[in-house]
Amino acid sequence: MTQLSMSKAINQGLRRALADDPKVLLMGEDIGDLGGVFRVTEGLKAEFGGRRVIDTPLAESGIIGTAIGLAMRGYRPVCEIQFDGFIFPGFDQITTQLAKLTSRHEGTQAFPVVIRVPYGGHIGAVEHHQESPEAYFAHTAGLRVVSPSTPHDAYWMIQEAIRSDDPVMFFEPKSRYWPKGELDETASGFPLHATRVVREGTDATLIGHGAMLSVLTQAADIAAEEGTSLEVLDLRSISPIDWEPIFASVRKTGRLVVAQEAPGFVSVASEIAASVSEACFYSLEAPVLRVAGFDVPFPPAKLESVYLPDADRVLDAVDRSLAY
């Protein structure tokens, strides 16, 4: 075991993927000499050269379109979108081309493109720099959508995403780039699309992905001091979702609170709430409750603490669930 931040863990995962497969290459704005705005690709151009770690123009549509062509020629391109809000100029290429090309070729052509997206709040940034657009892509058939919450998962999941023959949207919670955690480079532990039980509990289930896991764990710690046992699940994969661990947990606890940074309307949390209500109706002791960002554009930095779900809002939902 080593102690590593998530940004360094992803860097190590990319380094290993580049070393293991000469067809892997990285593309993005300022990812070469600068190492990306979050320094996730720092040092990789010096090690693997400018033909495999490529600084692109500021043109997200061009980055994705080029990656599609490279994938058709047998390469495994990994694209970095500099900030979450910058992905929309490439949205058309992702959702109307990349997501549909395998189906269009009736499965005869693979499109192993990974799109890395730093997402979410907690960094005090300006407009278009703190959004959570993962639901747009989870809604689009043909894309795999995943989000790690720990350095260990980030290290292994980026490598599994690169090995996938399907396009993968890899959402990296930027607020978790810097805290360190354990990394075991000898064992991955969980498949790419597996839901992980982080903490056992009996009174209610909490589930989220990416940056929300630290909030849910904090809420569970506070609840434990007050005598309430909360089970915490890490979604990890947003599309496809590994449902059985979720259903098993809800059938055990009878209650579910789903948390996310994104707005709650027509969201990942909405889908989880609906699916659990259908599959676990007779086990539920209370309605499934959602804790989410408000249905407004992401606010200025001074108001982000009001907008983003925290442990207090999660525990408020737990109290309401337990009151039924």
Separation CA 14–CA 276 (nearest Å): 35
Separation CA 78–CA 24 (nearest Å): 7
DSSP class of residue 206? E
Separation CA 80–CA 185 (nearest Å): 23
Pick the catalytic residue: 129, 152, 193, 209? 129
Residue type at position 152 = H
CA 194 to chain centre: 13
Separation CA 94–CA 103 (nearest Å): 14
Burial-class residue 274 by CB neighbours within 10 Å (0-12, 13-18, 19+). exposed
Q: Are 122 and 308 in contact (CB under 8 A)?
A: yes
Distant-in-sequence, close-in-space partners of 159: CB < 8 Å, separation ≥ 6: 13, 16, 17
Helix, strand, or coil here: 78?
strand
Residue 193: active-site member: no
Token pair, residue 200, equals 């056992």
Separation CA 311–CA 300 (nearest Å): 21
Active site residues: 129
